């Protein structure tokens, strides 16, 4: 009987109940959608970094990350390469020889990082070959082919088949010049990476550095993000001559952002639901005050205060139980749609690229968060119902019956 009375009470003033329902629905939808955009941005930035230059794990000589000197190559690389080839959690890996120098053309010069790679290995680790906007990926030119970013190509006035001069120090400390020809131009989500990175064949670079088969870096791609810590731990056991770092250690700001995103979802939704709770309290308090005479009559005929309290709480919970599933379904449909089709932000593409994000944003929200936010909403609503319910208990039956 108490449930029936509470259900009928919320529809006595349909307009007020509908306003409360809409506020909860829109609050949930807007909060979840904004968080899905934020998580999507972070996910896109992180996956873009991993798939272009970070990879899941990088292995160097102990001192290389500090000084990045040409002679600081990985000692006894075959030991760790043997472990990598047998590790179950590793999808692919790529060996790199790296030199820092200057790229020059008729239009000017620019500081760059030159990565000597084995093209077939690198294709399995990074997505550079899939981001070509011009030319090919080490397929046509036999002598010193070069693949570089669109930003750098535009800065130096280069195009496919243009000549480029790369100047850097060899293993003896002498300056050498590498004359190459542009075979391909790529464009990734990171304008910084596109402006600083040049790819050449490792054997071509070795002819000028004098390092032969020695390598500075091994980039490792695991089967999934969940395997990174385990694989890193296994690789560290090989010996003390190697510095093994995961993507979040190589780029701490990305790792910190990833950790913070989960907490930010609850903080942001908490703020929205807190604001909604004030609206719910205000609405239910008005409903109580408008029904003073009715509540006084119920108390006079014997309904105890405990039942009055639960009746008001049930009225509030019914509103939340109607609005929350609708808000969740609306959020789910809209987030899934934009997760597939994306949101076009090409008008601010240049600014996004400086942060390593593309011009189309894809929303993303883990499925377990829908259940958690639903539970969170019901708890907040329950708490919000306590104040108007307590206010109803303070009514004097005699005074309430005399009220208009």
Extended strands (E) in 247-336 = none
Distance CA 8, CA 343 (A): 43
pLDDT tens per residue across span 174-208: 999 999 999 999 988 778 888 999 999 999 999 99
Distance CA 376, CA 62 (A): 47
Distance CA 86, CA 231 (A): 11
- Report CA 137 to chain centroid distance, whole Å: 29
Instruction: Give this prediction's pTM.
Output: 0.74
The pair phi, psi for residue 160, each rounded to 5°, is -60, 135
Position 404 confidence tier, pLDDT thresholds 50, 70, 90: very low
SS3 237: coil
H or E element: which one contains 5?
A: helix 2-10
Mean pLDDT comparison of 305-309, 351-355, 394-398, highest-scoring range: 305-309
Extended strands (E) in 223-374 = 242-246, 343-344, 360-361
Position 281 confidence tier, pLDDT thresholds 50, 70, 90: confident
**Average per-residue pLDDT for the chain:** 84
Judge contact between 156 and 107, C-beta under 8 A.
Answer: yes
Q: State mean pLDDT over 142-158.
A: 93
Distance CA 159, CA 184 (A): 8
Distance CA 193, CA 93 (A): 20
State both tokens at 292.
């003073």
pLDDT tens per residue across span 42-55: 777 787 788 888 89
The residue count of the chain comes to: 404
User: Among 2-11, 16-25, 271-280, which is the least confidently predicted range?
Assistant: 2-11
């Amino acid at each position: 009987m108490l449930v029936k009375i509470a259900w009928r009470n919320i529809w006595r003033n349909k307009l007020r109940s509908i306003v409360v329902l809409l506020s909860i629905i829109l609050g949930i939808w807007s909060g979840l959608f904004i968080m899905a955009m934020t998580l999507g941005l972070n996910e896109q930035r992180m996956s873009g970094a991993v798939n272009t230059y970070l990879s899941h794990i990088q292995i160097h000589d102990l001192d290389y990350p500090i000084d990045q000197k040409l002679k600081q190559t990985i000692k006894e690389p075959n030991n760790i390469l043997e472990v990598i080839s047998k590790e179950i959690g590793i999808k692919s890996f790529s060996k790199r020889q790296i030199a820092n120098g200057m790229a020059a053309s008729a239009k000017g010069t620019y500081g760059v990082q030159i990565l000597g790679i084995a093209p077939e290995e690198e294709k399995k680790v990074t997505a550079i070959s899939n981001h070509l906007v011009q030319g090919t990926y080490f397929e046509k030119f036999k002598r010193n082919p070069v693949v570089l970013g669109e930003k750098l190509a535009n800065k130096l006035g280069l195009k496919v088949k243009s000549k480029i001069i790369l100047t850097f120090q060899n293993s003896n400390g002498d300056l050498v010049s590498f004359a190459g020809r542009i075979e391909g131009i790529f464009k990734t989500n990171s304008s910084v990476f596109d402006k600083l990175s040049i790819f050449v064949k490792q054997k071509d670079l070795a002819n000028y550095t004098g390092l032969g088969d020695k390598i500075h870096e091994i980039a490792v791609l695991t089967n999934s993000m969940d395997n990174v810590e385990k694989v890193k731990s296994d690789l560290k056991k090989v010996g003390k001559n190697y510095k093994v770092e995961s993507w979040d250690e190589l780029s701490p700001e990305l790792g910190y952002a990833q950790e913070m995103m989960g907490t930010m979802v609850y903080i942001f939704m908490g703020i929205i639901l807190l604001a909604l709770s004030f609206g719910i309290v205000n609405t239910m308090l008005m409903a109580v005050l408008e029904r003073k005479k009715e509540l006084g009559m119920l108390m006079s005929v014997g309904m105890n205060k405990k039942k009055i309290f639960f009746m008001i709480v049930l009225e509030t919970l019914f509103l939340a139980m109607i609005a929350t599933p609708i808000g969740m379904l609306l959020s789910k449909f809209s987030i899934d749609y934009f997760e597939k089709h994306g949101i076009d932000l090409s008008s601010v593409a240049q600014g996004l690229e400086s942060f390593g994000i593309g011009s189309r944003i894809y929303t993303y929200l883990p499925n377990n968060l829908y259940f958690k936010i639903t539970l969170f909403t019901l708890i907040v609503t329950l708490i919000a119902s306590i104040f108007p319910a307590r206010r109803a208990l303070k009514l004097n039956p005699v005074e309430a019956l005399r009220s208009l």
